[in-house]
Structure formats: C-alpha cells, structure tokens
Amino acid sequence: MIHVDKEGTWFHRGAPIIHQGILQLFYRSIRQDEQGRYLLVLKEQTCVLEVEDTPFVIAQTTLMPPDHEAPNERIVVRLVDGTEEMLDPATLTVGADHVLYCTVQK
C-alpha cells in the first residue's frame, strides 16, 4: 500500500519513500477517478493511492511584483513536486484547523 500523509510525505508499507526519482514518477502518475479517489497509473498497472489530505502540498510561495506582463502583484506557488504555478485567489478555502487550500492545475 502507498500512502501520503497530511504533510505530503509518501510511504510504502509504513516506510517513507525518499528517492526523488520515484517520487517524481509518482507525482506525474497521479490521476483521480469519478469518485474523487487518487490513483497511481503506471503503464498497465493502477493502484489506489491512500491520501490523508492532499498529495500536492505547497512548499513555497513567492510574491511577484507587477511587470510588463502582469500589472498587479501575483503569488507563485511551488508544489512539493517542484512544479510552480500562479495562485488563483478565487480558489482559496479554509479547512479544518484553519489550513488554507487552493486548486492547482495538476
């Protein structure tokens, strides 16, 4: 069984997965089914991914100043898989224990 805890740490049979190459492969292989379950889809194999909260955790935020492309300040979020994207403030919600959530384009 593969499990992702609420901090975004991946585990296989209780042992943390720390190999960055494997983690990157897993992040690229995440899909969601019609019921909202997370799946790992690797070639012909599909595995249900047990996710405590969300597999994509924000590791860093950066406030970008206005420039010639964007007249307003904006926030770039870097996810634990190393990808970056602009934060859409309209997607922000507050969850349990005042944890902020946003929608990412994964």
> Which structure tokens are listed for 104?
């990412």
CA distance 58 to 8: 9
> Which structure tokens are listed for 2?
């593969």
Indicate the SS3 state at residue 56. coil
Q: Are 36 and 55 a contacting pair, CB within 8 Å? A: no
Q: Are 80 and 59 a contacting pair, CB within 8 Å? A: yes
Q: Are 80 and 104 a contacting pair, CB within 8 Å? A: no
CA distance 78 to 100: 15
pLDDT digit string (tens) for 39-94?
999 999 999 999 999 999 999 999 999 988 888 999 999 999 999 999 999 999 99
Establish how many alpha carbons lie within 13 A of residue 51's alpha carbon, considering only the half-sphere containing its beta carbon. 19
pTM of the model: 0.81
